[in-house]
């Protein structure tokens, strides 16, 4: 017969079980809220609190007058979460994004098809475009705040400025050299968000403000830079040349007003440009200077006292040096020239005869004093030192060829610096490209002025200047560089060009470099054209470029003619 148990006992057993269960809950509660509370609080915070980077605004790069050459603007990064985009609307989303962003629809569709990814960057757009896209309300399409680097001039000073990559870091040129100055320091903020990523109102938010980058002001003059690029670009195209460079420099300060290359780098399409065209050839390309180097031989001869401007030389059109017969550029009967005439007519043979009076060691020493074999000191990326072999290693023929610029190698900036030294009364000033930096509140910190070094005496500089002025006269090789109303001093250069592609000398370097006004120098202009196919003499190829650029620069900077006339220079020697 079935009997019911004792009710009292059942109640007691139930109470014991309940007490046991509740004690477990209480123990767990004590563990969670007491012993392990900090651990779980931290874990919850990790899921709820997120760190956001506050990007610092990159500083601008401006010319000497404050015109922006590189500037950072507000932008929006458009992205998609392919897993969130509705399959039925993918074609519509791809069509809209492609149209608004100027991207191929096939590329956008490919990004949307990658459903395994939760984030695909589509493009960076201006705010107005981003607003139009977001107005469609597409699920899975979003935008985030970004900055974008722009170059208003396109290819203006392209290889000098360089460019910034997608990560906002300078990759080439001044953008790379001054990356730390320009980029500033990013900030950060901590925000609390919900499960869907939305920010929770009225919750904590801590912030470390970003420090914007400083602006870099260059010595470059935008207008002169434009004129230099135009002139050298047109001549490179007209002569079928490989490349060309132009430098415009202030005589007294060493500040560079223009540094142009052809072809120039279009900063709006740098990623599509071959990497070899990213380099600033004015400081990286090394070449044999040719006859522009004769001013150093002249300065060495005058400083040593071995010759004077009127010293007479008997000059045939060729001379034997060791196992080589070296010639002047044109055949001519033996003639009597003054040393001034040797320089003005750019006689190789006459220059060799003068060099033999001073010796290899003194000539080598003068080349060093003018900066050969050492970097010019501008601080530009890729700056080369050229090649100046030790005089004790010169071959028999090299002892002659160095005198007229073959057998040594330089850059365009090194050559321009030589003529700045002569124009500045024999004092070399380290070339300067950066004028200083500016903070966000407009405080300007100037760069240290270029170092000044006495290279030759003032008398020597004046005597060489007179020779260079004669070289631009009707009797000289540089008459195409003459400028109406101004006294111009300069020198042509035509050098054989070594080319690795033919493993020898299979082209030419045409150069003209000079300064004006000759009696009160303000500006140095150098023009060099590499491997022209239509002609090759410096007086024919490079001198017209010099004339265009110097004429524009003198007018742009409002440099007046001095109104004086040059003293006559005797080219021919009697007897």
According to DSSP, the β-strands at 61-62 and 215-218 are parallel
Helix (H, G, I), strand (E, B) or coil at 11: helix
Neighbours of 400 (CB within 10 A): 25
Are 199 and 217 within 8 A, CB to CB?
no
In angstroms, the CA 148 to CA 474 distance is 54
Helix (H, G, I), strand (E, B) or coil at 312: strand
* 512 alpha-carbon distance from chain centroid: 23
Q: At what angle do helices 412-423 and 294-304 cross, to 10 degrees?
A: 40
Are 422 and 295 within 8 A, CB to CB?
yes
Q: Per the structure block, which two tokens stand in for 304?
A: 């040593």
Helix (H, G, I), strand (E, B) or coil at 63: coil
In angstroms, the CA 506 to CA 149 distance is 42
11 forms beta bridges with none
What residues act catalytically?
Answer: 291
Q: By C-alpha distance, which of 499, 267, 492, 279 is closest to 382?
A: 279
**What would the 3-class secondary structure string for 376-418 be?**
CCCCCCCCCCCECCCHHHCCCCHHHHHHHCCCCEECHHHHHHH
Helix (H, G, I), strand (E, B) or coil at 419: helix
Neighbours of 184 (CB within 10 A): 18
In angstroms, the CA 443 to CA 458 distance is 39
Are 473 and 488 within 8 A, CB to CB?
no
124 forms beta bridges with 77
Contacts for 492 with CB less than 8 Å, ≥ 6 apart: 291, 292, 346, 471, 477, 478, 511, 512, 537, 538, 539, 542, 543
75 forms beta bridges with 146
In order, the DSSP letters of 460-506 are HHHHHHHHHHHHTSTTSTTGGG--TTS--EEEEEEEEEEETTTTEEE
Each as own residue / partner, the long-range contacts of residues 323-328 (CB below 8 Å, 24 or more positions apart, any chain) are 323/396, 323/397, 324/396, 324/397, 324/400, 326/352, 326/397, 326/400, 326/401
Q: Is the dihedral of CA 125, 127, 131, 137 positive or negative?
A: positive
Q: What angle do CA 465, 298, 530 make, to 5 degrees?
A: 85
Are 455 and 430 within 8 A, CB to CB?
no
């Amino acid at each position: 017969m079935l009997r019911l148990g004792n009710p009292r006992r059942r109640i007691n057993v139930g109470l014991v079980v309940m007490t046991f269960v509740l004690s477990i809950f209480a123990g767990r509660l004590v563990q969670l809220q007491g012993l392990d509370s900090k651990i779980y609080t931290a874990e919850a915070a990790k899921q709820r609190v997120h760190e956001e980077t506050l990007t610092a605004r990159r500083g601008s790069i401006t010319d000497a007058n404050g015109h922006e050459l590189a500037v950072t603007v507000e932008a929006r990064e458009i992205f998609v979460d392919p897993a969130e985009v509705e399959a039925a609307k993918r074609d519509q989303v791809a069509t809209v994004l492609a149209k608004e962003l100027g991207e191929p629809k096939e590329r956008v569709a490919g990004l949307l098809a990658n459903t395994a990814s939760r984030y695909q960057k589509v493009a960076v757009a201006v705010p107005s475009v981003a607003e139009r896209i977001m107005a469609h309300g597409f699920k899975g399409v979003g935008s985030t705040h970004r900055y974008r680097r722009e170059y208003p001039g396109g290819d203006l000073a392209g290889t000098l400025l360089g460019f910034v990559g997608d990560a906002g870091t300078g990759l080439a040129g001044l953008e790379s050299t001054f990356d730390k100055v320009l980029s500033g320091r990013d900030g950060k903020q901590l925000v609390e968000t919900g499960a869907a990523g939305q920010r929770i109102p009225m919750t904590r938010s801590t912030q470390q403000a970003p420090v914007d980058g400083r602006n870099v002001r260059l010595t470059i003059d935008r207008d002169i830079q434009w004129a230099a690029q135009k002139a050298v670009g047109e001549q490179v195209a007209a002569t079928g040349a490989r490349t060309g460079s132009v430098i415009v420099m202030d005589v007294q300060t060493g500040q560079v007003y223009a540094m142009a290359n052809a072809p120039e780098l279009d900063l709006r399409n740098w990623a599509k440009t071959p990497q070899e065209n990213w380099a600033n050839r004015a400081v990286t390309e090394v070449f044999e200077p040719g006859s522009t180097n004769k001013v150093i031989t002249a300065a060495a001869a005058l400083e040593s006292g071995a010759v004077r401007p009127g010293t007479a030389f008997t000059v045939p059109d060729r001379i034997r040096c060791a196992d080589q017969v070296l010639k002047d550029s044109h055949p001519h009967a033996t003639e009597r020239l003054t040393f001034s005439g040797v320089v003005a007519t750019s006689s190789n043979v006459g220059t060799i005869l003068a060099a033999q009076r001073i010796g290899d060691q003194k000539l080598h020493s003068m080349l060093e004093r003018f900066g050969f074999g050492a970097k010019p000191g501008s601080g530009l990326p890729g700056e080369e030192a050229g090649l100046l072999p030790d005089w004790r290693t010169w071959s028999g023929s090299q002892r002659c060829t160095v005198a007229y610029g073959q057998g040594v190698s330089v850059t365009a900036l090194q050559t321009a610096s030589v003529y700045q030294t002569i124009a500045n009364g024999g004092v070399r000033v380290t070339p300067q490209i950066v004028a200083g930096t500016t903070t966000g509140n407009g405080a300007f910190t100037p760069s240290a002025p270029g170092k000044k070094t006495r290279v030759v005496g003032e008398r020597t500089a004046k005597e060489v200047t007179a020779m260079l002025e004669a070289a631009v006269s009707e009797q000289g090789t540089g008459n195409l560089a003459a400028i109406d109303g101004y006294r111009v001093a300069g020198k042509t250069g035509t050098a054989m060009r070594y080319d690795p592609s033919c493993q020898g000398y299979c082209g030419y370097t045409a150069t003209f470099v000079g300064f004006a006004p000759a009696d009160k120098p303000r500006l140095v202009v150098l023009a060099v054209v590499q491997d022209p196919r239509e002609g090759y003499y410096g007086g024919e190829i490079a001198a017209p470029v010099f004339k265009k650029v110097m004429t524009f620069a003198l007018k742009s900077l409002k440099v007046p003619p001095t109104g004086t006339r040059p003293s006559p220079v005797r080219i021919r020697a009697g007897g």
